[in-house]
Amino acid sequence: MAQPLHKRGAMIGKRILLIVGGGIAAYKACEMVRLIRKQGADVTCVLTDGGAHFVTAMTLAALSENPVHTTLWDLKNEVEMGHIQLSRQADLIVVCPATADLMARMAAGIADDLATTLLLATDKPVMAVPAMNVRMWQHAATVRNVATLRGSGVTVLNPDEGVMACGEYGPGRLPEPEAVLAAIADRLGATNVAGPLTGKRVLITAGPTHEPIDPVRYIANRSSGKQGFAIAAAAAKAGAQVTLIAGPVTLQTPAGVTRVDVETARQMSAAVDAALPADVAIMVAAVADWRSAGEANQKIKKDGSGQVPPLQLVENPDILATLCKSDRRPPLVIGFAAETNDVLAHAQAKLARKGADWIVANDVATHKMGGEINALHIVSAAGIESLGEMPKDAAAAALVQRIADVLA
């Protein structure tokens, strides 16, 4: 969901050199030019040969109101402005979309066209915004190149996950232009780029917790963390300063989000405490209700007698309830309730029991935990709003919109 940009001009006086690589996502570079300029920055575009198959220099020139550079071997350009100067007059170079090939050449220090020559010659910060097929993104060579680039100080954003132009599913989509804009502003140290949650601190827990029984076994649940991560991404896109406390999951950190990894409920509780104060807390994690009473420090052995070991459980701290009672309680506290039956009744009871402002209920009998779709119901003192069935990122965007509405 595109968030309105309320505050204009947060990047006034900044100069961006935008290198547009080849790939279907190149059309989004046009939107990037528009968004950057709305913030008051100047954009000069460099179009690679690959990029020129997807967008034209004319489009970028019209949107940027600057000449577009396409080749190293342009005598007129070279006399008026040499490529070394072009690479150094910007405050930030943004490669968007950054293809696997372009990043490979950047990582290797190859300078065989205008874009790579500028990237090798520059002394300015560089950001790469990858977009490619999921297999290409996950290929060992790309993983290596991204690590090399990050190791040498290039900011490489993580691509979004979703259905790709080629029909495959996974990470590889260009992040939404608003998220790229937020990352650019962040890299430039520009504040107030501007969404409905700008200036708000949002604390989110996500994923399951793992409660050890012994060094090799643990108690867990089926939470994937996807809904919480999607909410973190949506809140960051809306301009919030987001801290995401994540249980053990295998998800990528959304752009612009500060992530703290934890394993157990007690660690999550301590991390929540350390992340305060916040304006909004959204407790999406499926925290294990119980942990083993006595974690064995050696593997519990099956001794052949047929006797099962006694597994004593004790209750974990209730992070949400504790937060609601705390004197540092955020002004808006939102809990989640995954239920298999009597979903709304359980959510209403939980609202009172926990002391939260909203409980967001979802029926995990209909939409199994770990899936891609959710149907959320926002239960509050004002009543119940059912958001309808939708992918988790759309549900996240809708929830973030409701949060922005009540904070406004």
Q: Parallel, antiparallel, or unpaired for β 201-206 and 280-283? A: parallel
CB nearer to ligand C5P: give 225 or 335: 335
Residue 291: CB minimum distance to ligand C5P, A: 10
| Whether the Cβ atoms of residue 159 and residue 127 lie closer than 8 Å to each other | no
Single out the segment in contact with ligand C5P by CB under 6 A; choices: 48-56, 84-92, 305-313, 317-325: 317-325
336 contacts ligand C5P (rule: CB under 6 A): yes
Centre a 10 Å sphere on the Cβ of residue 291 and count the other Cβ atoms it contains. Answer: 22
Q: Is 324 a catalytic residue?
A: no
Nearest to 267 by CA among 210, 351, 339: 210
The CA-atom distances, in angstroms, between 143 and each of 9, 164, 203 are 36, 19, 30
283 contacts ligand C5P (rule: CB under 6 A): yes
Q: Parallel, antiparallel, or unpaired for β 211-214 and 217-219? A: antiparallel
231-250 residues in contact with ligand C5P (CB under 6 A) are: none
Options 30, 45, 166, 324, the catalytic residue? 166
358 contacts ligand C5P (rule: CB under 6 A): no
| Whether the Cβ atoms of residue 98 and residue 180 lie closer than 8 Å to each other | no
Residue 208's H or E segment, with its range, is: none
Please give, one letter per residue, the 3-state secondary structure of 249-263. CCCCCCCCEEEEECC
400 three-state secondary structure = helix
Residue 353: CB minimum distance to ligand C5P, A: 8
214 three-state secondary structure = strand
Structure tokens at 151: 């190791």
Largest Cα span, the chain: 88
Single out the segment in contact with ligand C5P by CB under 6 A; choices: 69-77, 215-223, 247-255, 283-291: 283-291
Of 42, 160, 211, 318, the one binding ligand C5P by CB under 6 A? 318
Of 285, 343, 395, 398, the one binding ligand C5P by CB under 6 A? 285
CB nearer to ligand C5P: give 28 or 350: 350
CB nearer to ligand C5P: give 285 or 397: 285
CB nearer to ligand C5P: give 162 or 248: 248
CB nearer to ligand C5P: give 144 or 368: 368
Residue 210: CB minimum distance to ligand C5P, A: 14
- Written as one string, the DSSP assignment of 313-360 is EEEPP-HHHHHHHSTT--SEEEEEEEESSSHHHHHHHHHHHHT-SEEE
Residue reference for tokens 């080629």: 166
54 contacts ligand C5P (rule: CB under 6 A): no
335 contacts ligand C5P (rule: CB under 6 A): yes
287 contacts ligand C5P (rule: CB under 6 A): yes
Single out the segment in contact with ligand C5P by CB under 6 A; choices: 107-115, 145-153, 279-287, 379-387: 279-287
Of 198, 316, 348, 380, the one binding ligand C5P by CB under 6 A? 316
Q: Which residues bind ligand C5P (CB under 6 A)?
A: 205, 265, 283, 285, 287, 289, 316-320, 335-337, 350
| Active site residues per annotation | 166
